[in-house]
Amino acid sequence: MAERTPLFAANWKMHKTVGETEAFLDALLPRAEELRPAELVVCPPYPSLAAAAARCAGSGVRVAAQNMHSEPQGPFTGEVAAPMLTEVGVDAVILGHSERRLLFSESDDALAHKLPAALEAGLTPILCVGETEAERDADQTEAALRRQLEADLARAPDSRLAEVVIAYEPVWAIGTGRNATPDQVAEAIAFIRSLVARRDEVAGEAVRILYGGSVKPGNAAEILGEDGAIAHLAPRHAGHVHAHDPYVAHVYLQTFMRVSAWPMRREIGPDPATVDLWGTGGAGGGGGGAWWPRPGD
């Protein structure tokens, strides 16, 4: 089994000004080393990326953007290119978040161009995939995941698949109060890994897969502590992370801090970050450690 470093990604969505970003990171960074060897990624809005990168420089905490265009420059009003991100110190980027797909009609074809562009620019792509409620209820989860992954990774070289981080975010569990069970999460992640392995067996073992979907203080410890989750949080011991199995839990920093009972949460306030990606606010998009949710989800 490949060694995979646990990854906690916090998607802040459209939250935090530059000043709030700096204050939050000033509180977080002194404690970040306690999470070693786990890797932390914060994903602020565009205006705060430079400030976040400057604060995080040399800390081990990585900074990711929430989207990017596939072209390096051009007449694309409102878009941001990979070279613009790398110049300010960003080293990762979220691609295909469910909100981008749903609210901004982002297509798998667009993602198929964005992903290799991110790799070429030296950015780690955090690719989000997941089924809708209708697809889950119709027993079409695997079909939805297959469709997205095969299309989104189509232009990525096999030799670089292991560099992609995949965030599994069941859309029906984002901000709805419904939670995927540990068994459902494990089944989806195993299926995703098998799809990557069909392209490249080594990459299938090495790729990191995050989970996000209504992870929050009340359930983060259970989700992260279950067999099949790569990270285990001991609620009373901040930063007590064990990479003891194949999967990576992607948790909102907000929830992580609360579950860990860090004193600094009082300094940061009630909603330190939305960890989306599917659970980073809850592990990425939907809750304490995964990516895809809202503050407070």
What does the alpha-carbon distance between residue 281 and residue 32 come to, in Å, rounded to a whole number? Answer: 16
Radius of gyration of the chain (CA): 17
| Nearest Cα to Cα of residue 256 among 226, 279, 229 | 279
CB 264 within 8 A of CB 279: no
Please state at what angle helix 108-121 crosses helix 141-152, rounded to 10 degrees. 50
Q: Which residues pair with 94 in a beta bridge?
A: 126
Please state, in angstroms and rounded to a whole number, the distance separating the CA atoms of residues 96 and 288: 20
Whole-angstrom Cα distance, residue 24 to residue 31?
A: 12
Residues with Cβ < 8 Å from 181, sequence gap 6 or more?
none
User: Over the range 159-177, which residues count as b (16 or more CB within 10 Å of their CB) and which as e?
Assistant: ebbbbbbbbbbbbbbbbee
By annotation, the residues acting in catalysis are: 97, 169
User: Which tokens is 115 given?
Assistant: 């992903």
